Amino acid sequence: MNYNKKTVRDVDVAGKKVLLRCDFNVPQDKETGEITSDKRIVAALPTIQYLLDNSAAVIACSHLGKPKNGPDPKLSLAPVAKRLSELLGREVIFAADVVGEDAKAKAAALRPGQIMLLENTRFEKGETKNDPELAKAMAGMADLYVSDAFGAVHRAHASTAGVADYLPAVSGFLIQKELNFLGGAIANPKRPLVAILGGSKVSSKIGVINNLLEIADTIIIGGGMAYTFAAAQGGKVGDSLLEADWMAYSKEMVEKAAAKGVKLLLPVDTVCADAFAPDAKSQVVRSGEIPDGWQGLDIGPETVKLYCAAVADAGTVIWNGPMGVFEFPAFAKGTEAVAEALSKTNAITVIGGGDSAAAVEQLGYADKMTHISTGGGASLEFLEGKELPGVACLLDA
């Protein structure tokens, strides 16, 4: 995939109506509907401010949650419009629909330097089906399309890809940054390239491991998926998470890494517990020697040393997925140690969204990382080498 895309700086936006796809899928309090983190709204501000400062009229849009049957008042973007207005220090006009009479009238009346926000794009059934009629209707309100919702670019929806069939399409600053760092880490990494993969399942990381075996110098495996690798090599994993169907695949990956000269590092010891609970009794055992009735919940101290040494002299590190059950403090030591090691390395550090991003932020290392991705699913598909529909549709630079 070509990661070199035109951005808002490459086109004249003055006097244009710009349809701007943002990622305003913010977490909300289930009872009050109050926004509990405005990080995603804040992330969109540089692109919005640039467009407004350069005399564009901005028609922002986003999805929020997964409405089941059309409009759902609990998933309205009205609270987002209010928060965006506070952050920008100017009025954000809110449309009560996506392509209905209200949206069309407000878009037609919009002047340069003004911003409006359409209602939740998923209130339209055609959004997730990439319905050309819906895409055409959305595009009909604007002169230019700017995509800045990296968290949604792996989906071919009407507002993320379809509209680009009817309007010139460029990226905003957020997507440009993602393409620079994630694209750079994959297409042209500073070597050695070390990839750290954690999380619970091998099955969810197959494509990533396959792709990284072609480009990485070292691949580090942690989290629940390590037990499938251990079992594949004849180890005892007790009651640990195990995907028996993926054992042959795991063995094949170990052989493939050896044949390609890629270092594949697996845990040498494990912190195991007698129950899946924050206060469970624990002990450290050699990998592949977990007693019956016990389950592995974190990497052990020797593994921590091994993994931290591997990132110390790396040129680029990509990290996706925790090393253990990070939500239990007693089994978060491996994840904490890796995060700390990354904060001290001189390597380019790219954190691939989701749980790894949450861990780094929670531990206070966010400002020590080169780049933290804003899209969990999108960054994962990026690492798999898949084409992302919401990026592929943008004009090449």
Read off the tokens for 357: 């991003």
Distance from C-alpha of 343 to C-alpha of 320, rounded to nearest angstrom: 15
Whole-angstrom distance, CA of residue 131 vs CA of residue 160: 11
Q: Measured between alpha carbons, how far is residue 47 from residues 196, 327, 336, 344, 358 in Å? A: 31, 34, 33, 31, 24
The crossing angle, in degrees rounded to 10, of helices 247-260 and 206-215 is: 10
Closest CA to 339 of 326, 188, 204: 326
Tell me whether residue 293 is one of the annotated catalytic residues: no
Q: At what angle do helices 354-362 and 376-383 cross, to 10 degrees?
A: 120
| Active-site residue, selected from the candidate residues 100, 140, 207, 377 | 377
**CA 111 to chain CA centroid, nearest Å:** 34
- State the chain's maximal CA–CA distance in angstroms: 70
Could you say which DSSP state residue 201 is in? -
Q: CA dist 43 to 183, 230, 351, Å? A: 19, 40, 16
Strand runs (DSSP E) across 22-164, as ranges? 57-61, 92-94, 115-117, 144-147
How far is it, in rounded angstroms, from Cα 218 to Cα 204? Answer: 20
Known catalytic residue at 354: yes
Whether 201 is catalytic is yes
- How far is 127 from 125, CA to CA, in rounded Å? 6
> Do the beta carbons of residue 266 and residue 196 sit within 8 Å?
no
Q: Please provide the distance, in angstroms rounded to a whole number, between the alpha carbons at the two ends of the chain.
A: 13
Q: Could you tell me which of 229, 266, 268 has the C-alpha nearest to residue 249? A: 229
* Catalytic annotation, pick one of 83, 201, 236, 286: 201
Q: How far apart are CA 325 and CA 327, in angstroms?
A: 6
Query: What residues contact 326, with CB distance under 8 A and at least 6 apart?
Result: 332, 335, 355, 359
**Which one is catalytic: 354, 375, 376, 390?**
354
Helices 78-88 and 39-53: crossing angle, nearest 10°?
Answer: 60
**Given 16, 40, 122, 205, which residue is catalytic?**
40
324 is a catalytic site residue: no
Tell me the catalytic residues.
Answer: 40, 201, 354, 377
